[in-house]
Structure 1
Amino acid sequence: MTSKLACGLAALAMGLTSVGIAHPALAQVSVARPQVAQAPPLSGSWRLVSMAGIEPGVPSQDVRLTAEFVGDRLSGFGGCNQFTGRYQTIGSQLSISPLASTQRACESFLMDQEFRYLTALQGAQRYEIDPQGILIVSYQNERESGELRFAPIAVRGLW
């Protein structure tokens, strides 16, 4: 009995790493870590193609609502003003910080459209990229819930 006690005291004195020597069964125990499903990368430049109640580019086809995800930064154009902020993803979950924007005044319908767009972005909950390459951002805020759909913006070559 005294040899078991001595062995136990020696293990305690050497720290927890020595417990594996005193009890070989403990050395083989591994802790399973939960796996988070990997979503496709969000990085890139995107053009809004649909959102309930918003028809991007109407009345001018030159007005394009955009979002660019680089590192942990989000920036883009809301139809009237440039905006910027931060975003974070965990698997397919997406959260966007409060966005800051320039303060240019535009026609009221553009300002309303921009407000809805930025409010929807800030209510982002999750995202996915469908087989056709369309980015779908699901959002929910105090006023509404829905989806923002974006097409990738092709990068023009230098040649």
Structure 2
Amino acid sequence: MSSTFRLAGLAAPVLMVLSACAMPGAPAAAPLVGSEWRLEDLGGTAVLDRVEATLVFPEAGRVAGNGSCNRFFGSYTLMSDRIAIGQMGSTRMACAGAVGEQEARYLGALEKAERVEVQGRTMQVHVKGMDKPLRFVRTKP
């Protein structure tokens, strides 16, 4: 079999998957690159007043933000509405009491993220093991 036919045979399934993601009626992939979000609800629990937890997508495949006390960074993959956030790193400031607890819950939830929905200025991140999604409001397009 010639290499041209072999390449065409490999490309066809890839093109079918990519076109299925773009088909009308399919869930739209969130336009995440360059967007910034503020956490408003942590899986059914309100976030602490005057404690900002954020999620930023500075470039394709990269995620960063403020966990509530520390800055974090990591990687992500997105296919249609499915999201997986890879291993994250963070600064190591001491976070006492409720702030530290919120940060631990938030970062733990991000590591278990499975699906993302963006509707207007709101984003919901569905997390494995949580009954309610994380809810964010857009702070930067």
The TM-score with structure 1 as length reference comes to 0.68
Q: Distance in 2 between matches of 1:53 and 1:139?
A: 12
* 1:31-69 Cα deviation digits (max 9, x unpaired): 7824124413122110001123542233xx2x2100101
Q: Contact (CA 8 Å) 2:43, 2:135: kept in 1 or not?
A: no
- Give the corresponding residue for 1:5: none
Query: With CA pairs under 8 Å and 6+ residues apart, which has the higher RCO, 1 or 2?
Result: 2
Shift of 1:90: 0.5
* Paired amino acid for 2:16: R
Q: Contact (CA 8 Å) 1:134, 1:152: kept in 2 or not?
A: yes
86, 90, 94: which is aligned to 2:75?
Answer: 86
Q: Contact (CA 8 Å) 1:140, 1:146: kept in 2 or not?
A: no
Q: Distance in 2 between matches of 1:125 and 1:98?
A: 14
Q: Contact (CA 8 Å) 2:121, 2:138: kept in 1 or not?
A: yes
Q: Provide runs of 4+ in structure 1 moved above 4 Å.
A: none
Say what the alpha-carbon RMSD is for the aligned residues.
2.5
| Number of residue equivalences | 125
113, 123, 134: which is aligned to 1:148?
Answer: 134
Determine if the alignment matches structure 1 residue 128 to structure 2 residue 117.
yes
- Give the corresponding residue for 2:36: 45
Identity within the alignment, %:
31
The TM-score with structure 2 as length reference comes to 0.76
Q: Contact (CA 8 Å) 2:124, 2:136: kept in 1 or not?
A: yes
Determine if the alignment matches structure 1 residue 138 to structure 2 residue 126.
yes
The 3 A distance-change label for structure 1 pair 96 and 109 is: same
Q: Distance in 2 between matches of 1:53 and 1:146?
A: 6
Q: Contact (CA 8 Å) 2:63, 2:75: kept in 1 or not?
A: yes
SS for the counterpart of 1:33 is helix
